[in-house]
Structure 1
Amino acid sequence: MTDHDISHRSDNGQSETISAAAAHLPILELRGLEKQYLGTHALKPADLAFKAGEIHAIVGENGAGKSTLIKLLTGVIPRTAGEILLRGEPVALTTPLEAIQHGINAVHQEVVLCPHLTVAANIFLGEEHRRFGLLQHRHMVREAQKILDDLGFVLPAHVLLSDLTIGQQQLIATARAATRGARFLIFDEPTAYLTREEAAQLFALIRRLQKSGVTIVYISHRMEEVFELADRVSILRDGRLVGTRNIDDTNENELISLMINRSIEQIYHKVPFTFGKTILETQALSGSGFENISISVREGEIVGLYGLIGAGRSEFVTTIFGRHPKSSGKIFWDGKEVNIERERDAIKLGIALAPESRRDQGLCLSLPVSLNLNLPIYKQLSRNLLISHREESRHADSQISDLRIKTASRSASAASLSGGNQQKIVIGKWLNHGAKLFIFDEPTVGVDVGTKAEIYRLFSTLLQNGAGIILISSYLPEVYELADTLHVFRRGQMVASHPHKTVTHEDILTQALGSASADTDTHN
């Protein structure tokens, strides 16, 4: 094999070599690919070619057609028109099994494995090792552990999948796909729930796969990841492919403009407000995962909390919300000391929490949009134990309209909506409640830049109406641009505080990471 050749796995699992010239030919090509539902043109006729061994990013707003494209390529849904060519030959791709047999696989944002089985059992699901008809579980655990170690994933193979974090489960799904001989691998928002360390492990694996000749399709709302990984990027808008660019020939401004027809300066929508009275104050508050935290939130103010995963930010706000008990310290509401022992106490005061995991903690996915939007106020909508369906519909329709929630109807299940629209439901239910302090924990994870802009504008509306906001985000540009006061957390402690844009990104990262220079942190 020469230095200009690329090795990859063939259909029978044997290593084979492809020339550098062949690597630049399309491994998969779309010609006029189209998908229509009743009344909806989810994907307009698209022509697109993917080169062998490239990392090809796909970007676009929620509803732009990205999910439809994934489902067409993985055989989940049938196409309405057009054709798909694999190495120049037409393929049907009518079932997921057929796609897998052709070497096409996907790692989805929401893990679709079996939480009640071990990590090893999930990796070998459908390809279990048996001897004399008996499952060789210990052998599979050893083999799975070798696979994980070889991939650079520091994870145990013998534990139940449910014992792992969502991010770790995502890495297991990646390991499963990578070891199945995939030559065309789709990643759909793979870092949404990953820590910085886990994301680094994933990126290292993606580059290894690319070097072995695997074509990677990388779908992400995080522009920095697109520019870090991709060779080319294609942009979808309103179900239409609007362009493909070499990554070296474009920039973030151009991509956002193509995605949503407005510039990046319009994304971080921030209107300055005159701060009012103090809504919430904590004095030396301590609890599980954090200690000695003192902050205040005023009317019209966004207080940002930044730090690495596990820094104690989420534990701090869930204690304020009554989900976990405090161990010491004080909480003041409107100047009076309060004892928040349960979530009900916090809600009664006027505190709302939009949690980090909207699917697990913020929504009833199988229930209708209207029910989710009205959950905190059903007592107000009821008389003599009977719910006023008229009022229920009125409140739900008002939020659907005001927040521009894209749903077939108020009776559609929350699970049927995109991630961005699900986040709007989580926010909308607290708007119905009329809360005074809004706590947003990672509010824009997995949503596109257009929906981000809408959420930021919603923040301004809340502030204008006299509310205060605590904003937790692991995405530094978000808290840096939006927070009036930014607190930096590290290892359960608040190590620095900064007024709006008074320090650099590098300063904040240094404090969050805890380098030698950060040991002399001061509160500005």
Structure 2
Amino acid sequence: MQATKLVETRGLTKRYPGVLALDGVDFDLNKGEVHVLFGENGAGKSTLISMLAGANSPSDGEIILNGAPVHFGSVADAQAKGIYTVFQEFSLIPTLTVAENIFLGWEPMRGPFVDHRAMRRRAREMFEELDFPIDPTAITASLSRAQQQMVEITKAFHGDLSVLILDEPTASLTDREVDHLFGFIAALKERGVGIVYISHRIQEFQRIADRVTVLRDGARIGTVAMDETDEGALVEMMTGRAISEIYPTIACNPGEVLLTARGVKTPGVNGADLDIRAGEVLGIAGLVGSGKSRLFRALMGVAPRQGGTVTLKGQDITHAPTRQILRAGLHYLSPDRKAEGLDLAKTSNDNLALNLVMGGTGVSRMGFINWKAVREQSARIADRVELHEGYRAKLVSQLSGGNQQKVLFGKCFGQEADIYVFDEPTVGVDMGTRAALYLLIKQLAEAGKAVVVISSDLPEVLHLSHRMLVLAHGHISAELSGTEMTEDTVLKHFFDESGAKA
């Protein structure tokens, strides 16, 4: 039985001054399938979907919808034709209620007035149909990111939805929320909806993808059926490198214990003991909600400490404020680069300079700042994290997720530290950028620094770590090293409830 094509692009091209963002790309989406777009940051994925979504217009080529050429003048135009996109950056107004966001521009009226009662009733009916547990009267700002994503998806059901485009939909979801989303996607497929799915999480593809199209440097490298390929082949198509070349071999030279924690308690962590050694990569694994991030946020003083002791290089920092802990040599890279890690309204250079000045670079005893010295050091750091010169004077908000993460890593080198804690260091980052960041981790560890990698990406932790701690239900369920560090062993300890709080 021949597949029914919903959308097709022929020779789709987008030029900007001096940049060929998309180069003659052919792409098609069938009824009732999930077609993944896979590629590094800057490969052209966002450019392609922006044109399918009506947010951008092609320079050349055409878009075919249900067999006929179309031109979208706006996002609303594409939505009217059944194409709806949930972008990484949501379009919700945080101060409005959920129902008001869903019906923004579609408000039911009673005479000259908005019928709020009907709006709430219809929103509740839509959530029940989609099995989304959300209160239509809630203020949108009070929702989790996963719930906000559900609201964005619900907005697509005003019209006759035929194509749903999801851009990095699982980047901020818990495992349970991912399962819910994938169940919802399966239900949409049964209804004949075609889904374009963008993600860097290659381990998800086996669960949901029918086909995968790989883009590189704005061009289509190829399209393959998911049941006829594997992760290694996709990574090689995307980067031009084998997956074995992505993860570096890190020499293990464990030295002195730099940090000791005993009986640490914080909301979500029931008492944890750990040691962090110089010259070693310590991996921290666990399901979302296991307490792996909360533990280290408590060590940093950004989450409340309810018990236990912490010493850093022999100094008691149990009750020390975060600024003192940073100065003592413990650096923490937040998993939320936008809310906690970067100043989006400043340039990359400004973000790097801020940490340099805070660390004392170019600052005289009288408090005067040698900006030339700061700029020179900022440039050296930008070179070290492989941040292209063209991005250094740009606002961080204008950079891709991968380049934002490079700036965040660069800030680590603005102040001298003995321990670097990287919490979800490659979230939303492509394989090429991952390889560059992994090399930085290798350089730090082999220079005698202690490195902690907290990650929900199990292959990442397994490939980078010399020793691993597994957390489950707020306690450390296992400490593994050497041949013990296998995927099956780690997964077994993910569900250990022996230390769970009653």
Name the TM tier (shorter chain).
over 0.9
The residue type paired with residue 4 of structure 2 is L
Structure 1 residues 457 and 137, CA gap change in structure 2 (3 angstroms): same
SS in 2 for 1:346: helix
**Residues 108-152 of structure 1: CA deviation (Å, up to 9, x unaligned):** 223221111122222222212221233333332232222222212
How far is 1:407 from its partner? 5.9
Question: 2:251 touches 2:446 (CA, 8 Å); kept in 1?
Answer: no
CA distance in 2, matches of 1:371, 1:246: 45
Partner residue of 2:357?
Answer: 378
Question: Does residue 420 in structure 1 map to residue 405 in structure 2?
Answer: no
How far is 1:88 from its partner? 2.3
Determine which of 366, 383, 400 is the counterpart of 1:401: 383
CA distance in 2, matches of 1:275, 1:45: 51
RMSD: 1.9
Partner residue of 2:466?
Answer: 484
CA distance in 1, matches of 2:92, 2:66: 30
How far is 1:25 from its partner? 3.2
CA distance in 2, matches of 1:37, 1:393: 30
Question: Does residue 100 in structure 1 map to residue 79 in structure 2?
Answer: yes
The residue type paired with residue 448 of structure 1 is D
SS in 2 for 1:326: coil
Partner residue of 1:7?
Answer: none
CA distance in 1, matches of 2:499, 2:342: 42
Partner residue of 1:167?
Answer: 146
Determine which of 173, 176, 192 is the counterpart of 1:197: 176
CA distance in 2, matches of 1:228, 1:428: 35
CA distance in 1, matches of 2:56, 2:12: 12
Question: 1:232 touches 1:246 (CA, 8 Å); kept in 2?
Answer: yes
Determine which of 108, 112, 120 is the counterpart of 1:141: 120
**Residues 450-482 of structure 1: CA deviation (Å, up to 9, x unaligned):** 211211111101111221112111122221222
How far is 1:276 from its partner? 1.2
Determine which of 213, 216, 221 is the counterpart of 1:242: 221
SS in 1 for 2:354: helix
The residue type paired with residue 460 of structure 1 is K
1:247-262 pair list within 5 angstroms:
247-262=226-241
Q: TM-score, normalised by structure 1?
A: 0.90
The residue type paired with residue 375 of structure 2 is S
The residue type paired with residue 254 of structure 2 is F
How many residues were matched structurally? 497
Question: Does residue 450 in structure 1 map to residue 432 in structure 2?
Answer: yes
Question: 2:333 touches 2:341 (CA, 8 Å); kept in 1?
Answer: yes
Question: 2:477 touches 2:499 (CA, 8 Å); kept in 1?
Answer: no
CA distance in 2, matches of 1:203, 1:355: 27
Q: Which runs of 5+ in 1 are unaligned?
A: 1-19
Structure 1 residues 279 and 205, CA gap change in structure 2 (3 angstroms): same
SS in 2 for 1:481: helix
Determine which of 68, 91, 99 is the counterpart of 1:120: 99
Partner residue of 1:10?
Answer: none
Partner residue of 2:442?
Answer: 460
Partner residue of 2:488?
Answer: 506
CA distance in 2, matches of 1:341, 1:123: 45
Question: Does residue 319 in structure 1 map to residue 319 in structure 2?
Answer: no
Q: Which runs of 5+ in 2 are unaligned?
A: none
How far is 1:488 from its partner? 1.6
CA distance in 1, matches of 2:479, 2:131: 36
CA distance in 1, matches of 2:158, 2:460: 36
How far is 1:369 from its partner? 0.6
Question: Does residue 158 in structure 1 map to residue 141 in structure 2?
Answer: no
SS in 1 for 2:288: coil
- Percent of aligned pairs with the same amino acid: 35
**Residues 402-435 of structure 1: CA deviation (Å, up to 9, x unaligned):** 2112463422000111111111111101112122
The residue type paired with residue 303 of structure 2 is H
Structure 1 residues 223 and 106, CA gap change in structure 2 (3 angstroms): same
**Larger CA deviation: 297-306 vs 255-264:** 297-306
SS in 2 for 1:341: coil
Partner residue of 1:470?
Answer: 452
CA distance in 1, matches of 2:370, 2:105: 50
Determine which of 316, 322, 333 is the counterpart of 1:343: 322
**Larger CA deviation: 391-400 vs 219-228:** 391-400
CA distance in 2, matches of 1:349, 1:288: 25
CA distance in 2, matches of 1:501, 1:238: 39
Partner residue of 2:60?
Answer: 81
Structure 1 residues 76 and 407, CA gap change in structure 2 (3 angstroms): farther
Structure 1 residues 159 and 425, CA gap change in structure 2 (3 angstroms): same
Determine which of 488, 496, 508 is the counterpart of 2:478: 496
Determine which of 341, 344, 357 is the counterpart of 1:365: 344
How far is 1:325 from its partner? 3.2
Partner residue of 1:55?
Answer: 34
Question: 1:483 touches 1:500 (CA, 8 Å); kept in 2?
Answer: no
SS in 2 for 1:376: helix
How far is 1:78 from its partner? 2.2
CA distance in 2, matches of 1:481, 1:501: 12
CA distance in 2, matches of 1:286, 1:386: 42
Question: Does residue 45 in structure 1 map to residue 24 in structure 2?
Answer: yes
The residue type paired with residue 301 of structure 2 is G
Determine which of 252, 266, 269 is the counterpart of 1:273: 252
How far is 1:196 from its partner? 1.0
Structure 1 residues 302 and 101, CA gap change in structure 2 (3 angstroms): same
SS in 1 for 2:390: coil
